[in-house]
Structure 1
Amino acid sequence: MDILLSILEGVANNIFSQVPILIGLIACLGLILQRKPIEDVVGGTIRAIVGVVILTIGIDIFVGGLVAFQAVVSSAFGLEPPKSESTLNEFLAGPGSVVPLIIAVGFLIHLIVVRIFPAARYVYLTGHLMLWMSIVIAASLIEAFGDVEPWILVVASALIIACYWTLQPLWIAPLMKKLMGHDQFGLAHTDSTIGLLSGYGAKALKLGNPEKHDSEKLKLPRQISFFKDINVSTALVISVIMLIAIAFADANVVSEQMGDSSLLPWAWGLLQALRFAAGIAILLFGVRTFLAEIIPAFKGIADKLLPGTKPALDIPVTFPKAPTAVMIGFLSSTVVFLIFMMVFASAGWFVLVPPMIMLFFGGGAGGVFGNAVAGWRGAVFGGVVNGIVLSLGQWISWGLYSATAPELAALADADWYGVGWTLLGLGSVLAPLGEFGIWIIAGGVVAITCVILVILGKRQRTAQRNEANAANETTSTRQTDAAADAQPDAATN
């Protein structure tokens, strides 16, 4: 048993948690199943890995800037994060140490579900979010039920996470297709809730026309037309915010973020803004590189092992479609969060800490999905939605995870709140049943998932039959018309 656990932990830590390796293995397997020549297998695999590495480098560059940005902005507002009785590291060293097993077992169940149900057509491939959502589920169950037997926590959490990985790409699929213009791949990201709220919310409010008000077609005065270049606009906007924050921040905090740098604070701030812009440019290039390899390579898996399936990928794959909308969403999300931060601080309710990474990715998600439905107005709306969700979510969730990992409140995407709050709510009702209550929750999630997939499967078969009937009717009509046209010619002869 210990050997099996060690193997599962090794797989989780060295494959699922390492996105380049995971994508490389999938690309390699897909190309082999297509019986591609050895040179194509090696070349395609390495290009896919390099694309993900480039993307990761871009993320690391601007995330480093976001971390410094967060610390300086918090200091400028005179904020200190709230205290807690536990930390994420303590949780992962204790009851959360089974998280790698949850990921490994959960992904195996996910693949089985995708193989059994034709309607479950996406394979979830965003490795780092597999880790985070597994932590959220494990922490939620422990908060609700207290000490839980490790094997029960692993199996129940794996069942729940497998269902989430299966359903999440499906519920965002219609909007994803509208955004991308195709359905060659799906979205696997824990900001899918922001995408839903942004897209359908902008549509319900009739905020604009996606063609007429497209953020990528914005007409700017000639003097400021340089803002159309995403790299230029990013560098300028972040520079202004950074310099203002440095002016009001505590000198010690700024010095700590600067480290051993010999630059003056304003020069360091400008450099951070430029690095941020460069990181986004590198990220977008990496996305294009690995998509060009993983989509054709995955065809082998879809044809041989998991018929009809498609890869579900990280949110950056949507950013090249509307980079201006990404920045609009990020900026509007940040502004809204800062407003909430000031209101909460002045009212003495709670000390919000700006999670810049979540503001960027969630704001970007809201921006691109809002833009796909209502143009730049929808992008602004999507950013506002993300800012509100992160503000209220951090406020509400901090106390809910005080005994396990309160950082999950401040470092969260919208789906973390949705899944976590649901489990905590159900747990509060079923807690008197003890560990039996956990099985009720896991069993209920599995049952609901199966029902949804069966219903979706029936709808797909009905749609396919209707398409086939329509095609047959069209063919029959053409044959009839052709026969009718031929009759006069026969009579003449």
Structure 2
Amino acid sequence: MIEILEFLRDVLQQPALLIGMVSFVGLVALGKPFYKIMTGTLKPILGYLMLGAGAGFIVTNLDPLGKMIEKGFHITGVVPNNEAIVSVAQKILGVETMSILVVGLIVNLLIARFTKYKYVFLTGHHSFFMACLLSAVLGTSGMKGLELILCGGFILGAWSSISPAIGQKYTNKVTDGDGIALGHFGSLAYYISAWVGSKVGKPEESTEKIKIPEKWGFLRDTTVSTAITMMFFYLIAAIAAGPTYVATLSEGMSPILFAVMSGFKFAVGVTIVYSGVRMILGDLIPAFQGIATKVIPDAVPAVDCAVFFTYAPTAVVIGFVVSFIGGVIGMIILGILGGVLIIPGLVPHFFCGATAGIFGNATGGRKGAVCGAFVNGLLITFAPALLLPVLGSLGFQNTTFGDFDFGVLGITLGLISSATGQMGIFAVIAILFVVLLVPNFIPSKNKVINNPNEE
């Protein structure tokens, strides 16, 4: 039994396989010939692997940048990192986490089939991270065994269905109604960014319409502009850290050359991500029509945040930079207040900040991208700081989740658990159950909740 659960956990942790299976089922449901089923299944898998390769390249090149910033500017504290805390937690919560993951996926599919929350969450690694958080937090309420797995799995499946729906109206603005949803547990911060953007700017003043003089026309090329921006970041960090320290990271390469090449490699990683996204969307969306018409009527795929990067490439760069600035200011505020310093993690600030910039741009143009991303930077600084004591009580000191939804759910469930124990958790489950069912009894033209683009 354990071996089967471990195999299922491994499969569900691979978003590429999950997306491939979805495409396969959709194409079969549409009655496509074998060769189209084969290519339509493989291309989304390969596209996601390409996206993952690009993201991995980005993460690898962000690591030395973060270290140089810490060294050069003498910063010590906690760097939020989802992978780090999950790797620690798995040593004591492995079986519970993978069991919650499996139950959560099943619950998400059942909700999509029988309620108006038609969002199928396809970002498997984020589901795994959330399963880990839930197994840890619910365990402190005294839950264990089957009770822990079923309660955690229901919460995971429910939030996987509800979180894309909360801001689908904003997602439709980003994609111009392409028929996809956001499946990422930084979603609440992105929706807040979109709301902030709507209050400060106009969507028609998009970042993608920024007029660039002809002599600066090369900046319209996303790869080139990203390379120049990141090269500047790396050079400042390398100079601040000093040649002696940089040499420990560069394997003897000249510090200046190391900074320049790292900036270039980062830009290549972003370009690989864009290529993978295009390959995913090119085949996943048509295949998903089979799911939406035959298996789970009106289903909407909820996909990773990086999938949205191609909709506003300029906002990606702006969002990253401004979110990082917000993180630095947030860190300074925490220092003044005497709290634990949350050092801006470049990985969450890139992926989450870029997405916040995209959502802010969709509702408020350039001003929205800047203000939305700045607010995101503050949110993913303060939420991990507030989550840290909850996780510390579980024995995971000095590490915390980086994305906003983890902080919101972890803090909420942690406080409820400490105040009321298991009864509070059952109350949360009851509330989620009501939220999922009530829309079914409200007359509406839309078959999918919060999807104004649906005809």
Q: TM-score, normalised by structure 1?
A: 0.84
Corresponding residue for residue 384 of structure 2: 394
4+ runs deviating over 4 angstroms: 250-253, 342-348
Cα distance 1:293–1:460, how it changes in 2: closer, same or farther (>3 A)?
farther
- Structure 1's 281 and 404: CA in aligned 2 closer, same or farther, altered over 3 A? same
Displacement of 1:130: 0.5
**Does the C-alpha gap of structure 1 residues 406 and 161 become closer, same or farther in structure 2, counting only changes over 3 Å?**
farther
CA contact (8 A) 1:333 1:359 kept: yes
Instruction: Tell me the CA shift for residue 251 of structure 1.
Output: 5.1
Question: Are residues 57 and 424 of structure 1, via their aligned partners in 2, closer, same or farther at CA, if it must alter by over 3 Å?
Answer: same
Gap runs ≥5 in structure 1: 465-493
Give the aligned length: 443
Q: 1:241 aligns with which of 227, 230, 233?
A: 233
Measured against aligned partners, the alpha-carbon deviations of 1:241-275 in whole angstroms (never above 9, x if no partner) come to 111111121656433432xx342111111111111
Give, in angstroms, the shift of residue 219 of structure 1. Answer: 1.4
CA displacement, residues 403-443 of structure 1 (integer Å, 9 cap, x when unaligned): 3334652x411111111111012112113xxxx43xx51x4
2:203 alignment partner, one of 203, 210, 218: 210
TM-superposed deviation, 1:307 = 1.4
Describe the SS at the equivalent of 1:461: coil
Of the candidates 454, 458, 476, which is equivalent to residue 437 of structure 2? 454
Query: 3-state DSSP class of the match of 2:301?
Result: strand
Contact 1:71 / 1:253 at 8 angstroms: preserved in 2? no
Query: Which residue is 1:468 aligned to?
Result: none
Question: 1:196 and 1:305 mapped to 2: Cα distance?
Answer: 29
| 1:274 and 2:267 matched | no
2:85–2:399 CA contact under 8 A, matched in 1: no
State the 1:222 CA deviation: 3.8
2:348 alignment counterpart: 358
Q: Distance in 1 between matches of 2:270 and 2:72?
A: 25
Q: Is the 8 A contact 2:100 2:152 kept in 1?
A: yes
Instruction: Give how far 1:174 is off.
Output: 0.8
Aligned to 1:93: 91
Residues 1:76 and 1:36: Cα distance change in structure 2 (over 3 Å): same
Which of 90, 105, 108 is equivalent to 1:107? 105
Query: 2:23 and 2:54 mapped to 1: Cα distance?
Result: 21
Judging changes above 3 Å, is the alpha-carbon distance between structure 1 residues 316 and 302 closer, same or farther for their aligned structure 2 residues? same
Determine the structure 1 residue equivalent to 2:450.
none
From 156, 161, 164, the counterpart of 1:169: 164
Q: Which residue identity does 2:310 align to in structure 1?
A: P
Aligned residue in 2 for 1:178? 173
Task: State the 1:287 CA deviation.
Answer: 0.3
Structure 2, unmatched stretches of 5+, are 448-455
1:141 maps to: 138
The RMSD of aligned alpha carbons is 2.3
Counterpart Cα distance in 1 of 2:437 and 2:405: 24
SS in 1 for 2:444: helix
Contact 1:202 1:370 in 2 (8 A): yes
1:198 aligns with 2:193: yes
Residue 489 of structure 1: aligned partner: none
- CA deviation after TM superposition for structure 1 residue 87, in Å: 6.2
How much identity, in percent, do the aligned residues show?
Answer: 29
Pairing 1:152–2:147 present: yes
Distance 2:151 2:144 in 1: 11
Q: Which residue of 2 is the match for residue 125 of structure 1?
A: 122
Q: Any conservation in 1 of the 2:193–2:359 contact (CA below 8 Å)?
A: yes
Query: Where do residues 34-113 of structure 1 align in structure 2 (5 Å cutoff)?
Result: 34-82=30-78, 88-113=86-111
Which of the residues 381, 384, 394 maps onto 2:374?
384
The answer to which of 332-341 and 415-424 deviates more is: 332-341
Inter-CA distance 87–337: structure 2 relative to 1 (3 Å threshold): closer
CA distance in 1, matches of 2:313, 2:169: 21
Q: Is the 8 A contact 1:95 1:150 kept in 2?
A: no
**Residue 309 of structure 2 is aligned to residue 319 of structure 1:** yes
TM-score (normalised: structure 2):
0.91
Q: CA deviation at 1:461?
A: 3.1
Structure 1 segment 436-451 matched on structure 2, within 5 A = 436-437=422-423, 440-441=424-425, 443-451=426-434
